[in-house]
Amino acid sequence: MKKYLSLLALITSTYINGLGLNPAGYWDIQNITNPKVSPDGEKVLFSKRYIDKINDSFITETWLMDSNGENKRLFTDGSNAKWSPDGKKVAFTKDDDNERSQLFVKFLIGDSETKITNSDKPIEDFAWSKNGTFIAYSAFNEYEDDWVIEIPGEKEGETYNWTEDPTVVTTMHWRADGSGEQNAGEDHLYVVSSEGGAAAKISTWGLDYQSSLAWLDDETLVFQANDSLDDLQSPWKQSAIFTLGVNSKKLSKVSPTEGVYNSPKASSEGKIAFLGHPSKDYSYVAFDVYVKDGEATKKLTSSLSATPRELFWLNDKELAFSIDDHGASKVMLLDILSGKLSEKISNFEEQFYLSSVHNNHLFGTYANAKRPAELSVIDGRGINKLSSFNEVALGQYELGNTIEINYKSPDGMDIQGWYITPPNFDKTKKYPLILVIHGGPHSMYRNQFNYLWHQFASDGYVVLYTNPRGSTGYGSAFANIIDNDYPGMGDLSDLLAGVDHVTNEGFIDESRMYVQGCSGGGVLTAWVVGHDDRFAAAASLCPVTNWISMVGTTDIPAWTFKWFDVPFWEDPTNWLDRSPIMRTGYIKTPTLFMTGVLDIRTPMPQTEEMYVALKEVGVDTVLVRMNGEWHGTGRRKPTNWFRTYGYLTEWYEKYPSK
């Protein structure tokens, strides 16, 4: 730690007077998300997250502002805030004195706050009825444990310090990263008066509520749920759209019989828009937009770049949504009569994440290569920023520029990427390079501000990041090409071709190149050094290194099995060929491994196995076991962000040239 602190002090003293980003500035960055405009368009609720430095934690609050961005103020420490239909009240969830999530309602006039539920189960999602009289909500219902061993000799009235009963596991999905061991059960639906009182359970066993709860009318709920409960299938491949009568308790599936469907959104006239795909047999596919009008269901889109985010009705004939497309998050407009799809802002290349609408005003957050997301609205004038929470923190620094590149892989595949240059970049000089690889593997890098990458650039590195095959935002075929072939030679060649493209520019010191990535990026980092020795050092964070041992220890076993054409007991060949640990004998690159000790997405034994293997063959390696973290190395604890940066920086400095 002393060594890291001395490095931090050196870097801090180097980047005063606005010369480059300062690591300590990360403490001040605020995360702004999810603006929700009131029904009358006058007010906006939004979430603001900041760092509690003393307690090493992130604090999220709900704030309120006028829709023009003025009069920002703290509204509540609750979360998931939603406007009442008349816009005079806001419902939200927060923990009561028993640390159990309950529903609260706060009045805008008078600022009074009332708890309206006293549920013995934590409340998760909720929705106001259209007339504001009721609130529907979801809560977890645990299955009864019918296998309990009675211990003989127990006497009534006697206190025993006996070991707690064991957990009897009967399901494939019995744990989840970020929360750990899960109780077996289903999420069910309840209705309570918006004034408080007793709640009524309205759903029955055999249905697991998932998300997107809303009222179709004053008598009917619409939502996404799972009624097949197939333990051998990933839950997200069992989603469908349902309606449920509040009084009749009648449950109806309204999405097509076959396929996967989610994210319903009802119009004021009773139409239901939703996303979906007609088959469950896919590794990745971009979902299309459907609309159900009465008895008729119509698919409105095809060959989208990615699955749209939340759908919004602008009116009864037009939908809006944001979608990833070639490194950008664009707002699209969809005419449900003609099926015509158009960009709200033509040729948009930055990031706008839509989260609510009022008439023709689209509220969301806007981000670009030099600034994190801020509250914004798209109106007739384009994008109008409504906040600048991070400007004071970041405005004092000079940041490097982000340059887009487009190149071809050896097999002719078109690949998009970007690199960030150091401040005061001089193309006649030579700079070290860090290749950063994204996880997923179905995800997309974009030209959006990333503090860690800009910090590396301020330290003097060129930071390269690309979207190799398997990435989203380029259509289903591009993403799905890695099915049963991940990691493979295709994504490897895409990454290395990106390095070649930048080194050909002439400003990279090829003896000082480094590679890193987390999760799927950790997989590919280990894969890269198993096939190529051009990098002076590598850092594989939270990787999968052995697919056979991974599938039995991860929280996503059903997903993992689907990555391979047959189970490993039928033929282990592909499972072994895709495991980076099987390339150990080819690795020469010094490789650091770093994983959260709580991680059950890519569990710690995956890291430990390859660390031990590299030790055995004499490759320089270090294992960093990051305390307090689930999947990822600096997401849960702010101090672990600094540790991640510090370990990576010192590891690369330990190998100043190849």
Strand partners, 221: 215, 244
Burial class (CB in 10 A: 0-12, 13-18, 19+), 303: exposed
Distance in Å from the first CA to the final CA of the chain: 26
- Quick check: is 340 in a domain? no
CA torsion, ordered 243, 249, 252, 253, to nearest 10 deg: 60
How far apart are alpha carbons 151 and 228 in whole angstroms?
37
> What single letter denotes the amino acid at residue 160?
Y
- Answer whether residue 268 is part of any domain: no
366-414 tens-digit pLDDT: 999 999 999 999 998 899 999 999 999 999 999 999 999 999 999 999 9
- Does residue 580 form part of some domain? yes
For residue 97, what is the domain's CATH number?
2.120.10.30
Question: Which of 221, 254, 287 is the last residue in one of the domains?
Answer: 254
In a domain? residue 184: yes
| Strands, E assignment, 304-446 | 312-315, 318-325, 328-335, 341-343, 351-358, 361-368, 371-379, 382-385, 402-408, 414-420, 431-437
In the sheet with 208-217, reading across from the earlier edge strand, the strands are 208-217, 220-226, 240-245, 251-253
Number of domains in the chain: 2
pLDDT given at position 10? 39
Q: What percent helix, strand, coil does the chain show, rounded to 5?
A: 20, 35, 45
Helix (H) or strand (E) holding 610: helix 604-617
Question: Cα(224)–Cα(208) distance, rounded to whole angstroms?
Answer: 9
Q: How far is the C-alpha of 610 from the C-alpha of 594, rounded, in Å?
A: 11
Out of 223, 254, 285, pick the residue that ends a domain. 254
- Phi and psi dihedrals of 611, rounded to 5? -60, -45
Chunked into runs of 10 residues, the chain (658 residues) has average pLDDT values of 40 49 95 97 97 96 97 95 97 93 94 92 96 96 88 91 91 91 94 95 95 96 95 93 96 95 95 96 94 94 97 96 97 96 95 96 97 95 94 94 97 97 96 97 95 97 98 96 94 98 97 97 98 98 98 95 94 97 98 97 97 98 97 95 97 93
Q: Which of 194, 224, 254 is the last residue of a domain?
A: 254
CA–CA gap between residue 467 and residue 425 (Å, rounded) = 24
138 within a domain of the structure (yes/no): yes
pTM of the model: 0.93
Please give the Cα distance from 576 to 566 (Å, whole number): 13
DSSP per residue, 242-277: EEEETTT--EEE-S-SSSEEEEEEE-TTS-EEEEEE
Nearest to 58 by CA among 27, 101, 82, 35: 27
Write the CA distances from 264 to 104, 243, 267, 271, 657, integer angstroms. 25, 10, 10, 10, 54
With 0-12 CB in 10 A as exposed, 13-18 as middle and 19+ as buried, what is 179? exposed
11 domain-assigned: no
Cis check for the bond before 441: say yes or no (omega within 30 of 0): yes
Distance CA 107, CA 109 (A): 5
Q: Which residues pair with 591 in a beta bridge?
A: 538, 621
What pLDDT was estimated at residue 330? 97
CATH code for the domain in which residue 534 is found? 3.40.50.1820
Residue 61 Cα distances to 58, 80, 112, 126, 138, angstroms: 10, 10, 17, 18, 22
Q: Is residue 130 part of a domain?
A: yes
Tokens 């707002």 -> residue:
331
Residue 527 structural domain: 397-654
Is the residue at 158 inside a domain?
no
**H helix and E strand count, the chain:** 11, 38
Burial (0-12, 13-18, 19+ Cβ within 10 Å), 28 = middle
Asked if 398 contacts 20 with a C-beta cutoff of 8 angstroms, the reply is: yes
